[in-house]
Amino acid sequence: MQRLRVLRAVAEHGSFNRAAAALRLTPSAVSQQVAALERGLGTRVVDRSTRGVTLTRAGRVMVGAAESVAAELEHARRQVDQLETGRTRLAVATFTSGGRLLLPGALARLTAAHPDTVLHVREAEPEDSLPLVRRGAVDLALAYHFDGPLPGQPGGRSAVEWTPLLDDPLRVVLPVGHRLADRASLGIAELAGEPWVLGCLKTEAYLRRYAERAGFEPEVRGTTTDYFFARSLVAAGMGISLIPSIALAPRIPGVCTVPVEEPAPARHIGIATVTRRRDHPRLITLVAALRQEAAAVGTG
């Protein structure tokens, strides 16, 4: 089990040194644990290079098995706790804007149906919350991805099951009085030469990809981790922004929003659970409640 734990850390951190620091071991000890695992299996589980280490196919299988074992142990611990307390714990991870919009109503429906549930909610971006689901540290994650796959999604028995909820189009946010503020929609190419203020590092990376396709390099004058702050900076005249629709509340004075023309960038919001727990009664209730909340947003 210790060797699998070490391999999981190596996979997560991408190097023996960083894995050793996370585990409070020496890099030599980490290397020895991985080498012992490889001898026992009769095959390599990592490829070593000057840029770090990457998992082999065998290594990915073993990491999947390690995560499955860890999730089963966590599940067993919760069952024991339930026997002791008579109450069922349900842990949920969520990103901020999605949680603010969808989670309160869904949790109210859950507690109405299962009043003995002890709820724990933690804020986490998808790159952090999806590993929590795989490890069994949380039962469900409200997460999102852009136009690629789910972040950090490995194969193996502990694979995450993704349930789509809604698409969240990104909108251009402009200061009131901007020359483009009265447009019904805008193409990304029309925004070349505009200064940008962004509320999320992932949104910045996404903007840069779309801008590259449109043939320009965006001039980013401000990057925050808060969409409300980014809109406040737009209102102050620092630049324009690209913000997901559900992060546009509450409204603030001094800005307006314009849809982006096709192909419009969007976040794809959904629910991540571990496949083996999808028949858990409280998870079934919570997933159904989140779907109801998302449907209300889509028709509201």
Domain range list for the chain: 2-63, 66-166+267-299, 168-266
- Mean of pLDDT values over 96-115: 94
* Weakest-pLDDT range from 54-63, 76-85, 200-209: 76-85
C-alpha 186/C-alpha 161 separation (Å) is 35
CA distances from 40 to 4, 25, 35, 66, 185 (A): 12, 21, 9, 15, 60
CA dihedral of residues 245, 246, 247, 253 (deg, nearest 10): 70
The answer to whether 239 and 197 are in contact (CB under 8 A) is yes
Most confident of 4-13, 16-25, 96-105: 96-105
Question: 124: which 2 tokens?
Answer: 């986490």
**pLDDT at residue 242 above 90?**
yes
**pLDDT at residue 295 above 50?**
yes
Tell me the average pLDDT of the chain. 86
The answer to whether 33 and 2 are in contact (CB under 8 A) is yes
Predicted pLDDT at 146: 85
Closest listed residue to residue 66, CA positions, set 136, 167, 115: 136
- % of the chain at pLDDT higher than 90: 48
Residue 235 bridge partners (DSSP): none
Under DSSP, the state recorded for 184 is S
Higher pLDDT pick, 243 / 69: 243
Per residue in 42-78, is it b (16+ CB within 10 Å) or e — as a string? eebbbeeeeeebebeebbbbbbbbbbbbbbeebbeeb
Q: For the domain 2-63, what is the CATH code?
A: 1.10.10.10
- Mean of pLDDT values over 269-284: 83
Predicted pLDDT at 67: 72
Peptide bond into 250 cis (omega under 30): yes
Predicted pLDDT at 155: 43
- Mean of pLDDT values over 126-135: 87
- 0.75 cut: is pTM over it? no
Which of these CATH numbers, 1.10.357.10, 3.60.9.10, 3.40.190.10, 3.90.230.10, describes 168-266?
Answer: 3.40.190.10
- Mean of pLDDT values over 255-272: 92
Peptide bond into 263 cis (omega under 30): yes
Higher pLDDT pick, 203 / 193: 193
Identity of the amino acid at 16: F
C-alpha 67/C-alpha 274 separation (Å) is 11
Per residue in 225-256, is it b (16+ CB within 10 Å) or e — as a string? eebeebbbbbbeebbbbbbbbbbbeeeeeebb
C-alpha 284/C-alpha 289 separation (Å) is 9
Q: 66-166+267-299, what's its fold?
A: D-Maltodextrin-Binding Protein; domain 2 (3.40.190)
| Largest interatomic CA distance in the chain | 68
Domains 66-166+267-299 and 168-266 share a fold: yes
